[in-house]
């Protein structure tokens, strides 16, 4: 189900881009005054916290300074220990802009250039044409470290380090997945190697380099790698929804599969593993905007969307996601997510900034983000609906399949609940990681019950059957996908639907061929 995991990540990134393209660029609208913005943000997050949809800290600042920096909820939900505005959170992939900023500063100091090649620092690797720029822009084609190295060669009961990972890459040399610059594919692997390049070029540790070239110039006193921050008294404990326990629990009470990154790769540097708080993130934003860390040219390079070999522009610069609004304003942002934590950071050069950090891995991240942005821009704030998948997780261990189907039917009639394929996929993926394929497929069957008219749901279920070797059932469901697409008069003639149908037919042919081969053995 690796492809399912990739599909989830790509869908999340696509939805982020789609939302921002549709909502950004409204700066010509009359902006609410500062107090109105502050009160709206406070109101929506207070209600969200009361509804158990948000647990974290939010900050918003305009050109005059910080407007609101406030906490909602608890550092430990079980003990009801309150968060405060100084609480420190794991920021996950929001670490990438820090690594990218460090690399750009080292370029300014002539340690290397954007066109320096990976093999200059790792000569035993086979990737001859990958440059630092490719790594920063996620266009390198370097293989995924988990799928190509960890899952095959590493005992995940042991702790992994960047250096050990590099040694494994040199030993097994998995092939590139595409030529450098050919396409964009989000890559944690590339950022591990960026951290390695920084260390090899300087003979200093990533932590010392980050402190010297990024954190100290920005005045960030509360930011460090999670490995060192997790024992701080104001460190916010992460929470996950335990399906087995039918409640949210702190991370050390959560049932981790052994191949979850947090269990074997705590000492990670580059793509994640940094912890911070909201006031430090604001200081980082201010330091970037005012060129305290980088010169104006370097900042401009970071914020310029990448261009592929065929001339196609991406929505990612050098370590930052970049959206060009309708009014040509550039919205610079990044998100992060790991076990127990979600983070978001958005800045508009010369204008505002906001960020939020949460220590509860719940499904309301995008709704919270949308509500904050609507408060800032003066658009209507809609009530945040409750997740039907979250409700299902809370009762899954206690109910039989028929009872779960009945619960879903009841929730579908309620206007304040919603169902989402991405959430179902993530729930199924948690079982797939444990190689519990029966429960993984059972959850996707429930997804079909909740969204019976969604061809995408059927497609994922068919893919899952195929991955566990149930080819006949997979073919039946793929056929239903084609029938559903052909029955949609409004969409069936669209190019993307025709391509989907042709791809599905190819999958059916392949599965039928495989079934025939198996019979003749």
Q: Give the tens place of pLDDT for each residue, 159-179.
A: 999 999 999 999 999 999 999
Mean pLDDT of the chain: 91
What per-residue confidence (pLDDT) applies to 11? 41
pLDDT band, residue 349 (cuts 50/70/90): low
- Which secondary structure element, helix H or strand E, spans residue 207, and what is its range? helix 206-210
Q: How many CB atoms lie within 10 A of CB 407?
A: 19
Q: What three-state secondary structure class fits 400? A: coil
The mean pLDDT of 428-454, rounded to a whole number, is 94
What distance in Å separates the CA atoms of residue 45 and residue 42, rounded to the nearest whole number? 5
- Which secondary structure element, helix H or strand E, spans residue 337, and what is its range? strand 330-338
Q: Would residue 206 count as lying in a domain?
A: no
What distance in Å separates the CA atoms of residue 313 and residue 305, rounded to the nearest whole number? 6
What distance in Å separates the CA atoms of residue 259 and residue 157, rounded to the nearest whole number? 9
Residue 468 has pLDDT above 90, yes or no: yes
Q: Would residue 419 count as lying in a domain?
A: yes
What per-residue confidence (pLDDT) applies to 25? 46
Alpha helical stretches, state H, 378-436: 388-395, 401-412, 421-432
What distance in Å separates the CA atoms of residue 67 and residue 54, rounded to the nearest whole number? 20
pLDDT band, residue 17 (cuts 50/70/90): very low
Closest residue by Cα to residue 123 from 20, 12, 197 = 197
Query: 396 lies in which domain range?
Result: 386-520
The residue that leads in pLDDT, 78 or 50, is 50
HSE value, Cβ hemisphere, 13 Å, CA-based, for 520: 6
pLDDT band, residue 324 (cuts 50/70/90): confident
**132-136, 184-188, 321-325, 481-485: least confidently modelled range:** 321-325
pLDDT band, residue 20 (cuts 50/70/90): very low
Residue 402 has pLDDT above 50, yes or no: yes
Q: Which two tokens stand for residue 65?
A: 């300074």
Q: Would residue 456 count as lying in a domain?
A: yes
**39-48, 288-297, 431-440: least confidently modelled range:** 431-440
pLDDT band, residue 433 (cuts 50/70/90): confident
What distance in Å separates the CA atoms of residue 460 and residue 449, rounded to the nearest whole number? 13
- Sheet hosting strand 330-338, strand order edge to edge: 65-72, 56-62, 353-358, 341-347, 330-338, 321-324
pLDDT band, residue 31 (cuts 50/70/90): low
Residue 14 has pLDDT above 80, yes or no: no
State percent of the chain over pLDDT 90: 83
What distance in Å separates the CA atoms of residue 384 and residue 48, rounded to the nearest whole number? 8
Q: Would residue 282 count as lying in a domain?
A: no
Closest residue by Cα to residue 263 from 158, 337, 343, 165 = 158
pLDDT band, residue 70 (cuts 50/70/90): very high
Cα dihedral 166, 170, 171, 176 sign: positive
pLDDT band, residue 7 (cuts 50/70/90): very low
Q: Answer yes or no: are the C-beta atoms of 468 and 442 closer than 8 Å.
A: no
Q: Please list the residues that pair with 154 across neighbouring strands.
A: none
SS (H, E, C) 268-296: CCCCCCEEECHHHHHHHHHHHHCCCCCCH
Q: Answer yes or no: are the C-beta atoms of 424 and 444 closer than 8 Å.
A: yes
- Which secondary structure element, helix H or strand E, spans residue 519, and what is its range? helix 495-520
252-274 per-residue burial string, b: 16 or more CB within 10 A, e: under 16: eebebeeebbbebbeebbbbbbb
**33-37, 71-75, 171-175, 482-486: least confidently modelled range:** 33-37
Q: What three-state secondary structure class fits 331? A: strand
pLDDT tens track for 219-259:
999 999 999 999 999 999 999 999 999 999 998 888 776 55
The mean pLDDT of 191-198, rounded to a whole number, is 98
What distance in Å separates the CA atoms of residue 13 and residue 28, rounded to the nearest whole number? 27
CATH label of the domain that carries residue 495: 1.25.40.10
Count structural domains, the chain.
Answer: 1
DSSP-derived letter for residue 440 is: H
89-106 per-residue burial string, b: 16 or more CB within 10 A, e: under 16: bbbbbbbbbbbbbbbbbb
Q: Would residue 417 count as lying in a domain?
A: yes
HSE value, Cβ hemisphere, 13 Å, CA-based, for 142: 33
What distance in Å separates the CA atoms of residue 69 and residue 117, rounded to the nearest whole number? 42
Cα dihedral 494, 495, 498, 500 sign: negative
What per-residue confidence (pLDDT) applies to 221? 95
The mean pLDDT of 298-303, rounded to a whole number, is 96
What per-residue confidence (pLDDT) applies to 28? 41
What per-residue confidence (pLDDT) applies to 325? 81
Q: Which two tokens stand for residue 191?
A: 């950022």
How far is C-alpha 17 from the geometric centre of its chain's CA atoms? Answer: 13
Q: Answer yes or no: are the C-beta atoms of 90 and 75 closer than 8 Å.
A: no
DSSP-derived letter for residue 100 is: H
What per-residue confidence (pLDDT) applies to 82? 96
What per-residue confidence (pLDDT) applies to 326? 80
Residue 502 has pLDDT above 80, yes or no: yes
Q: Would residue 231 count as lying in a domain?
A: no
Q: Would residue 8 count as lying in a domain?
A: no
What distance in Å separates the CA atoms of residue 237 and residue 312, rounded to the nearest whole number? 42
Q: Which two tokens stand for residue 17?
A: 């881009």
Closest residue by Cα to residue 464 from 450, 448, 453 = 448
């Amino acid at each position: 189900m690796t492809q399912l995991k990739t599909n989830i990540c790509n869908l999340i990134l696509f939805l982020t881009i789609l939302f921002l393209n549709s909502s950004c660029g409204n700066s010509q609208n009359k902006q609410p005054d500062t107090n109105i913005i502050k009160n709206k943000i406070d109101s929506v997050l207070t209600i969200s916290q009361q509804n158990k949809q948000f647990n974290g800290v939010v900050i918003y600042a305009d050109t005059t300074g910080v407007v609101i920096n406030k906490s909602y909820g608890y550092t430990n939900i079980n003990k009801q220990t309150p968060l405060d505005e100084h609480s420190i959170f794991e920021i996950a992939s929001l670490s990438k802009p820090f690594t990218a900023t460090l690399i750009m500063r080292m370029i300014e100091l002539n340690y290397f250039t954007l066109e320096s090649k990976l093999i200059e620092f790792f000569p035993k690797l086979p990737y001859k044409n990958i440059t630092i720029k490719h790594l920063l822009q996620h266009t390198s084609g370097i293989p995924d470290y988990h799928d190509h190295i960890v899952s095959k060669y590493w005992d995940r009961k042991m702790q992994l380090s960047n250096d050990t990972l590099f040694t494994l890459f040199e030993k097994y040399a998995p092939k590139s997945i595409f030529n450098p610059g050919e396409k964009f594919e989000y890559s944690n692997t590339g950022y591990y190697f960026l951290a390695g390049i920084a260390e090899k070029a300087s003979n200093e540790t990533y932590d010392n380099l980050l402190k010297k070239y990024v954190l100290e110039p920005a005045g960030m006193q509360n930011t460090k790698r999670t490995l060192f921050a997790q024992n701080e008294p104001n460190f916010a404990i992460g929470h996950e929804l335990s399906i087995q326990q039918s409640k949210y629990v702190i991370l050390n009470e959560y049932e981790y599969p052994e191949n979850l990154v947090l269990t074997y790769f705590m000492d990670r540097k580059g793509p994640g593993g940094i912890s911070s708080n909201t006031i430090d993130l604001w200081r980082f934003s201010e330091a970037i905007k005012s060129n305290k860390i980088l010169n104006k040219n370097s900042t401009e390079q970071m914020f310029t969307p990448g261009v592929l070999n065929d001339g196609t522009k991406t929505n990612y610069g050098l370590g930052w996601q970049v959206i060009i609004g309708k009014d040509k304003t550039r919205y610079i942002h990044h998100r992060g997510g790991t076990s127990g934590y979600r983070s978001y950071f958005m800045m508009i050069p010369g204008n505002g900034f906001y960020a939020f950090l949460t220590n509860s891995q719940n499904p309301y991240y995008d709704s919270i983000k949308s509500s904050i942005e609507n408060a800032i821009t003066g658009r209507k704030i809609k009530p945040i609906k409750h997740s039907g998948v979250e409700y299902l997780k809370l009762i899954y261990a206690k109910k039989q399949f028929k009872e779960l189907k009945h619960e879903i039917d009841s929730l579908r009639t309620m206007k304040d609940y919603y169902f989402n394929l991405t959430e179902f996929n993530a729930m199924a993926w948690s079982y797939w990681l444990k190689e519990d394929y029966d429960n993984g497929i059972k959850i996707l069957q429930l997804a079909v019950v909740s969204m019976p008219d969604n061809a995408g749901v059927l497609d994922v279920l068919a893919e899952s059957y195929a991955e566990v070797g149930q080819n006949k059932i997979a073919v039946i469901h793929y056929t239903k996908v084609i029938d559903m697409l052909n029955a949609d008069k409004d969409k069936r003639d669209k190019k993307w639907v025709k391509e989907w149908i042709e791809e599905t037919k190819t999958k059916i042919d392949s599965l039928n061929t495989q079934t025939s081969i198996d019979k003749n053995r």
